[in-house]
Amino acid sequence: MPESIRRDTGLSPQGQVQATIGRSIVLKGELSANEDLLIEGQFEGTVNLQDHCLTVGANGKVKAEIQARQVVIFGTVNGNVTAREKIEVRRSGNVTGDLTAASISIEEGAYFKGSIDILREGRPEERTPIAAGATAAYEDNE
């Protein structure tokens, strides 16, 4: 299904209907769900959608630590984003924070400031921190 249709109809990247936080909604706190979620409003806090997809719409403004299966960003995100499968920062996306996923794509024209950590399947336990602080470095134990 074309991307513009997915965005206009509130469908997730998999073509399923998803829950929506609309443009006029402002929320703070901990957000967890067992379904895909589209944020077009403002959210501050933590987002946990371990088995689902989070889409930050073009009007969405999120200041949060995010964990999900997939994350697609058209709007603004301030905070670290961790996805089990993939993170996509689209052309209109604006991200300040670290990205961690098995697959990460940043379209030309998108803004990104932070670090990228590509996870290899079945190997996260083999990584050992080698520096402490706001941004830790890792060393592969091979």
Q: Mean pLDDT per 10-residue run, the chain (142 residues)?
A: 42 67 97 96 97 97 98 99 98 98 98 96 50 45 46
State residue 68's pLDDT score. 98
**Domain limits of the chain?**
3-140
What pLDDT shows up at residue 120? 85
**Nearest residue to 72 via CA among 5, 6, 1:** 6
The confidence score (pLDDT) of residue 59 equals 98
- Greatest distance between any 2 Cα atoms in the chain: 50
Task: List CB contacts of 70: < 8 A, sequence separation 6 or more.
Answer: 13, 52, 53, 54, 83, 84, 85, 86, 87, 88
Question: Distance between CA 120 and CA 97 in Å, rounded?
Answer: 20
How much is the pLDDT for 69? 97
Q: Tell me what pLDDT residue 15 has.
A: 59
| Pairing mode of beta strands 37-39, 26-32 | unpaired
Tell me the pTM. Answer: 0.76
71 - beta bridge partners?
Answer: 54, 87
The pLDDT of residue 122:
58
